[in-house]
């Protein structure tokens, strides 16, 4: 529909305006077809769970299911806490806390204190997905391999995590993530 004249005329204006309108219409029609793949209202409604911690004895661990992912909940022994606290920050492959509950999760140092919830240091609560390629590390069961640092060991590609869930050896780039946790009572938590 190119015009014969050089100067834009009314027909040019109509063609451009019409095409623009059609393009905007088409683009807005496409959005629902893309958005439909986002998590639906049913998935969003499952975004938080509550877990009762009272049956867990010192040294034991349970795995909860949150948003389709395993959440490791471990009642650490005094030795495990001690071992985690002794580690110098310089020895960590990833010195960032990765704890969603802190004010500055992207910059706080990965001390043992920063990896847990204040006042509840004996509980180590982590998203149980290796930060390398998404396998589930071993270490929840006492019989599991726990790697060179006594925490978790991912059998897929050999990542070793310590007793604060920090990456110490292997290909994983980041410490295991700490989800958003609220202690409702001393023995009951809400995840998410």
Partner 1 sequence: MADHSSTYEPKSATAKWWDERLPIMRLLSDQMITFPTPKNINYLWTFGGILTVFLLLQLVTGIILAMHYQPSAAEAFNSVDNIMRNVNYGWLIRNMHAVGASMFFIAVYIHIFRGLYYGSYKAPREILWILGMLIFLAMMAAGFMGYALVWGQMSFWGVTVITNLFSSLDGIIPGLGTAIVEWLWGGYSVSGTTLNRFFSLHYLVPFVIVGLVVLHIWALHMTGQNNPTGVEPKTEADTVPMHPYATSKDLFAMFAFFLMFAWFVFFLPDYLGHPDNYNPANPLVTPPHIVPEWYFLPFYAILRAIPDKLGGVIMMFGAIAVLFFIPWLDRSRIRSARYRPIYKWFFWLLVISCLALGYLGAMPAEEPYITWARIFTAYYFAHFLIVMPIVGVLEKPKPLPASISDAVEGGKSSSGASAHKKN
**List 120, 132, 157, 160, catalytic entry:** 157
Give the residue from 130, 148, 128 showing the smallest Cα distance to 140.
Answer: 128
> CA 168 to CA 114: how far, in whole Å?
17
> CA 73 to CA 47: how far, in whole Å?
18
**Residue from 5, 28, 36, 54 binding partner 1 (CB under 8 A):** 36
Task: Closer to partner 1 by CB, 30 or 89: give it.
Answer: 30
> CA 152 to CA 142: how far, in whole Å?
11
Q: Is 132 a catalytic residue?
A: no
Q: How far is the CB of 35 from partner 1 (least distance, A)?
A: 5
Which residues have C-beta within 8 Å of that of residue 3, sequence separation ≥ 6? Answer: 9, 11, 12
**Residue from 2, 26, 37, 88 binding partner 1 (CB under 8 A):** 37
Task: Closer to partner 1 by CB, 46 or 65: give it.
Answer: 46
38 to 57, contacts with partner 1 by CB under 8 A? Answer: 38, 40-42
Residue with tokens 């929840």: 140
Residue ranges in contact with partner 1 by CB under 8 A: 1, 32-33, 35-38, 40-42
Report, as residue numbers or ranges, the catalytic residues. Answer: 157
């Amino acid at each position: 529909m190119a015009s014969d004249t050089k100067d834009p005329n009314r027909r040019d204006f109509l063609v451009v305006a019409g095409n623009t309108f059609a393009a905007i219409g088409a683009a807005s029609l496409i959005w629902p077809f893309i958005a439909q793949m986002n998590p639906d209202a049913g998935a969003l409604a499952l975004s938080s769970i509550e877990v009762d911690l009272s049956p867990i004895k010192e040294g034991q661990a349970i795995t909860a299911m949150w948003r389709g992912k395993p959440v490791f909940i471990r009642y650490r022994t005094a030795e495990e806490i001690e071992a985690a606290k002794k580690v110098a920050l310089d020895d960590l492959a990833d010195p960032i806390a990765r704890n969603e509950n802190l004010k500055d999760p992207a910059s706080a140092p990965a001390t043992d204190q920063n990896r847990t919830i204040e006042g509840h240091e004996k509980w180590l609560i982590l998203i149980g997905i290796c930060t390398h390629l998404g396998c589930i590390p071993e270490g929840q069961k006492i019989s599991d391999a726990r790697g060179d640092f006594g925490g978790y060991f991912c059998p897929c590609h050999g990542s070793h995590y310590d007793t604060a869930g920090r990456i110490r050896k292997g290909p994983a780039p980041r410490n295991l993530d700490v989800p958003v946790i609220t202690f409702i009572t001393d023995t009951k938590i809400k995840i998410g």
